[in-house]
Amino acid sequence: MTNTKSILTPWRVIAVLIFASGAVATYMRFALGYQASTNLSNGQPWGVWVGLSTLCGVGLSAGGFMIAAAVYLMGMERYRPISRVAVMIAFLGYLAVCAGYAWELGLPWNFWHPIVMWNRQSVLFEVVWCIMLYTTVLALEFSPALIEKLPWQNTRQTLLRWQHRIVIALVLVGVLLSSMHQSFLGGLFIIFKGKEYPLWYSSYQTTLFYLSAIPAGMAMVIIALYLSIRSLRVKVDPKLLSELSKVITPMLVIFGLFRFLDLLRQHAGPYMFMAREETFYFWLEIALFVAVPLVLFNMERMKSRPIGLYWASCVTVMGFMTHRLNVSVTALERATATHYVPKWTEMAVAIMLISAAVIAFRYAVLYLDILPKNEPKTPPQLRWTMKGATAEA
Amino acid sequence: MESTKAILVDITKCIGCQQCAIACRAAHKQAGDPEPSLSATAFTVVEPHGDKFVRRMCLHCEDPSCASVCPVGAIKKTVQGAVRYDGSKCIGCRYCMIACPYGVPKYEWSKLAPYVTKCDMCAERVLGGNQPACTEACPTGASIFGKREELLREAKKRIVENPGTYVDRIYGETELGGTSVFYISDVPFEKLGFIEPPAQQPLPNLSEAALAEVPSVVAIGGSLLAGVYWITERRKEVALAEERERKERS
């Protein structure tokens, strides 16, 4: 915990400011409407709420299904100590995405319509269903962390036994659902042919979104683990961080290669060097998401230390967000002749949702058995210690 | 079977009098003067392009992108030809607005319960046996309403019978799978703000191709994962058995 003396720590002040501005923005959104609370327009109807909250929120939660698959399906036991935290990151990420729909949807009270009103032609329909189902799967995957804290022994054991019985099926279904909607988020943009700027249009946008979500989701797990080790007295073998980072580098290379070959395939090569605003955002994306992370993850000084891995992961996440915002915002500006800069309220809501997830993460790590802890007060559970996770911190 | 209805706009005949826009406002109970461009409160507008006038409206595609992307099926192509929006289903995701290649659907950004708005080809009037307000109001016959095939025939006839007058193209005949609003013109369409279709086929085909992979991905991916799990378990069993053997021997 950051503080034992004063209630007014800098982080708490920042949190209060974030939630206060979020509350004002929320009031504006629901009491005054979109026009007063956003810079969205007919030319740019999605903006950062979709670009950040949905596209990035889902993508950055991809660590959950990968770690779960590694541990439960592939038997990579060394990742078991972090499988729960990876699932929780995903769970909180998806909860934030779902909560975000309250602001994003024009008629949020109709959010349940896709359950009963079907349109199988719509990529968004598939995405919505996958997100609903996968959030349920994540809740069930994560449920033991809460069930363990139930005071009634019999109920606890019965529930845990049931959860244990279905956990393999949950993980398997979770991987399928994730793979589907991670790629279909990119699939949303396939029909925008002619509107999307050539540097971002691809008939393989599904593949690109899938390939980009994997390193970004891994980077997110590294960030969360590093911060937990540093400030939540969590005991995780730092070697795990560098092992995770070894998955990121090849994935970034694959993504970069695929991205460039795909652009050449679609004859978008010349656009890479035009003197246009889009060109800048394209190279910014390539720099932050491919070039700089690849250099950082391979520098001895960075990869040998958790803090180095942390910063390299932060750049990766920034690059990932640049990619998603480019696809959803930058790419549409020329065709729709709209220059969109989000209003402060849009950012305030997005930041509030992220902060809520971060705070929930913090308290879950502190009060539930998410990660093995250093504190002797709450003894780590047997199964954590058995897997050799309590090595040197 | 009921025949599909359509609208033919002959740009050579349009004098920019705005009668269509005025009639449209009246038919949709919208107060105020005609607007310069399509908006949440203007479903058809007359745009000047040099000395020509181009009436903008929903083209009522044969295979509409907006209807294809709507997750709840709030937008439907009707048998009468109109592409209609059902606000009671809408969740407000605004996917249709970006998906429309012509940029037609608009949003009521200023309202607390905002809906998508666009031309509905006066579907209620047409069901009642009338024609849309705009074509009825047109004093020069620049916009006419009729059966889709008949209007196509009429457009072709005008192009053939007036050599040198028209550009040899009926905009909407084949564009992105065809529309139910056709334009003929004496000026090339690209000079009048018409988009060149970005594909040779209806745009919904593009996302359908991606969606078509779902069943195979689920089947193959699911079996692969199950296979991986089986191998993992088998390995564990073998490891355990070997362990036991070793113990027994020693």
Nearest 5°: phi and psi at B147? -75, 145
The full DSSP string for A56-82 is: IHHHHTTHHHHHHIIIIIS--GGGHHH
B40: its two tokens: 């949440």
For residues A202 and A208, give the distance between their C-alpha atoms in angstroms, rounded to a whole number.
8
- Answer whether A107 sits within 8 Å of B92, measured CB to CB: yes
- Answer whether A41 sits within 8 Å of B95, measured CB to CB: no
- In three-state secondary structure terms, A54 is helix
- Answer whether B91 sits within 8 Å of A107, measured CB to CB: yes
pLDDT digits (tens, 9 = 90+) for B153-194: 999 999 999 989 999 999 999 999 999 999 999 999 999 999
Interface subset of A 107-146, CB within 8 angstroms of B: 107-108, 110-111, 113-114, 117-126, 128
Listed residue (B61, B74, B71) closest to B101, CA to CA: B61
Shortest Cα–Cα distance, B140 to chain A (Å): 32
Is the pLDDT assigned to residue A384 strictly greater than 50? Answer: no
A197 in reach of chain B (CB within 8 A): no
pTM for this entry = 0.91
CB B189 within 8 A of CB B183: yes
Per-residue three-class SS string for A254-284: HHHHHHHHHHHHCCCHHHHHCCCHHHHHHHH
- Answer whether A123 sits within 8 Å of B115, measured CB to CB: no
Interface subset of A 213-272, CB within 8 angstroms of B: none
Residue A375 is predicted with a pLDDT of: 61
Best of A65, A122, A333, A346 to substitute, by most chain B Cβ atoms within 10 angstroms, is A122
For residues B94 and A33, give the distance between their C-alpha atoms in angstroms, rounded to a whole number.
15
Best of A191, A193, A204 to substitute, by most chain B Cβ atoms within 10 angstroms, is A191
Per-residue b/e over A68-79, b at no fewer than 16 CB within 10 Å? bbbbbbebeeeb
Residue A391 is predicted with a pLDDT of: 37
pLDDT band for A385, please (50, 70, 90 cuts).
Answer: very low
Cβ contacts of A195 on chain B, cutoff 8 Å: 98, 101, 198
- Answer whether A117 sits within 8 Å of B72, measured CB to CB: yes
pLDDT band for A373, please (50, 70, 90 cuts).
Answer: confident
Nearest by CB to residue A123, choosing from B74, B210, B217, is: B210
CB A59 within 8 A of CB A320: yes
For range A26-32, the mean pLDDT: 95
For range A286-300, the mean pLDDT: 95
Shortest Cα–Cα distance, B18 to chain A (Å): 23
CA neighbours closer than 13 Å in the CB half-sphere of residue A203: 14
For residues A333 and A327, give the distance between their C-alpha atoms in angstroms, rounded to a whole number.
10
For range A116-120, the mean pLDDT: 94
CB B18 within 8 A of CB B199: no
Is the pLDDT assigned to residue A393 strictly greater than 80? Answer: no
Cβ contacts of B203 on chain A, cutoff 8 Å: 191, 193
- Answer whether A45 sits within 8 Å of B98, measured CB to CB: yes
Interface size between A and B, measured as CB pairs under 8 A: 171
Question: Across A259-360, where does the E strand assignment appear?
Answer: none
Nearest by CB to residue B198, choosing from A113, A125, A194, is: A194
For residues B121 and B82, give the distance between their C-alpha atoms in angstroms, rounded to a whole number.
6
Best of B72, B85, B90, B97 to substitute, by most chain A Cβ atoms within 10 angstroms, is B72
pLDDT digits (tens, 9 = 90+) for B64-99: 999 999 999 999 999 999 999 999 999 999 999 999
Q: Are strands B75-77 and B52-56 parallel, antiparallel or unpaired?
A: unpaired
A33: its two tokens: 């409407």
The residues, ordered by sequence, that sit 6+ positions from A190 with a Cβ below 8 Å of its Cβ are A123, A202, A203, A205, A206, B206, B207, B210
Q: Are strands B181-184 and B5-10 parallel, antiparallel or unpaired?
A: parallel
The average confidence (pLDDT) of chain B is 94
For residues A232 and A122, give the distance between their C-alpha atoms in angstroms, rounded to a whole number.
43
